[in-house]
Chains A and B, each alone.
Chain A
Amino acid sequence: MVLRELSFEVYSGDCLAIIGPNGSGKTLLLKALQQLVPHQGEILWSQTAHLGYVPQSIAADRQLPLRVGELLAAKARFLHLADQEMEQVSSELNLKPEFMAAGIGTLSGGQFQKALIAFALLGHPNVLLFDEPTASLDELAEERIYELVHQLQSQQGITLILVSHDLSVVYRYASRVLCLSNDKVCMGSPKEIMTPEMLEELYGAPPKFYRHIQEH
């Protein structure tokens, strides 16, 4: 058992960041929230909650001979979505026809992440579960992805549950932070949770990011 005695609430419009060392069960928690892995206990979603999932990009097969547009169309047809849905998502994310026609194997890391976000947004979710959105991206691409996500949140009021290793991003965007580690679970605002003492306890080493905060 990786996770136990975990209880938390997320409110509509929140941006909850889940942090913790490798192997603390962050991805597992995201999967459990979607009933993708067996678990005990109770997970209650509001009846109006509609989930969208952006998995880690390594969870997808990028060798597949498939274009972005074909991938999105497969989901749209499977869920019987109206044609306008595709257009709406492409205009929201500013997806160009060349992007839709590109093979998923030819996309850069940032573009691929964008394709995964477009996939998640099809079907109008109001809760986005986001697993390591910027792992293996350079800083510019990372910045773009976060701006995009932030924009979605402020414009559409999407609730965000985000797993991230990037503590400065968490500090900037999260309204609440849930930290998981093998023997300790805590939750609160970024200011309460992301103190040097707490982070040292969580990760077992003083985080470099703290110095950056001190300069301000």
Chain B
Amino acid sequence: MDANHDYAVLLAALFAIAAGLIGSVALMKRMVLASDVISHLALPGLGIAFLLKGNPLVGGGATLFLGTLLVWQLQKKTELATDAAIGVVFAACLGIGALVTPQEDLLEALFGNFQKLSLAGFLLGTAAVFLVVAFLVGLKDRLVLDLFSPELAAATGVNVARLDLGFLLVFSLTVLVGLRFMGALLSSALIIIPAATARQLTGKMTQFIVAASAISLVSVVVGFLVSTLVFETSTVGPTVVIVSVLLFAMSLLVKKCRAGQPI
């Protein structure tokens, strides 16, 4: 084990925490589907970067942020059938991405690959996670008002459209941090599943958000250990997702037991 390996592990853990935080807000905003699509928007960029032997994160990041602006525009136009439009964008991204990505890199683009990380990469990733946390903590009152009622938030003086854009951007940033680790297909899973799990367990907002982050962290740590020690593979994403899904299933059982219902 060397320092570069440790950086990668550390950043994966930081990503997990940010994913839990951002996922819990996305769940409360009822934009889980939209956010799922956002992560797939990285795929065409990843593919082009692999094709041109460029930096995959730059390529993925570029299409990711362009796509985010597109989703934001779609969301504002509520008269448009947003879910249908998002479905089309989703399919288009997968199609284009699969087509342009060289065959030997496709698996990595879709499902990620755990690799060593330079100090510069680690610092960039850490800065991104810090930005995500700072956004959520700094704007938490605005976010609460917007979650409760966008209309009432606007009447109170919150710039709702700008807040939504800010949220989508930090969402994309989180996806980008996890992109190499989890892949374009799975990096949103860690944003959605731990949040859904935590929501089963508590009805209090702070507890919910903290629990989502903790569950996300546990999924990454356990998934990482199982895939490297048991399966001896560097494709960690699928195992992480399976661990998080198992935790979700357990949360359903816990909820049923608490309600005193027979399982």
Contacts and interface: CB of A to CB of B under 8 A. Distances in A.
Contacts of B140: 74
A103 B152 CA distance: 18
A36 B148 contact: no
A64 B158 CA distance: 19
- Is chain B's interface secondary structure helix, strand, loop, or mixed overall? helix
Contacts of A167: none
Contacts of B147: 61, 64, 66
B44 to A, nearest CB: 34
A103 B207 CA distance: 13
A119 B144 CA distance: 13
Contact of A77 (B141, B148, B152, B202): B141
A78 B148 contact: no
B124 to A, nearest CB: 32
A108 interface: no
A36 B155 contact: yes
Interface in B207-225: 208
B152 A55 contact: yes
Interface string B1-39: 000000000000000000000000000101000000000
A34 B155 contact: yes
B160 to A, nearest CB: 10
Interface in A37-65: 51, 53, 55, 59-61, 64-65
A59 B205 contact: no
A71 interface: yes
Interface in B133-161: 140-142, 144-145, 147-149, 151-152, 154-158
Contacts of A103: 203-204
Contacts of B152: 53, 55, 59-60, 119
B151 A59 contact: yes
Interface in A93-107: 103-105
A61 to B, nearest CB: 6
Contacts of B156: 75, 78-79
What 7 pairs across the A-B complex have the smallest Cβ distances?
A74-B144, A60-B149, A53-B155, A74-B141, A78-B141, A65-B205, A77-B141
Interface of B: 28, 30, 140-142, 144-145, 147-149, 151-152, 154-158, 199, 202-205, 208
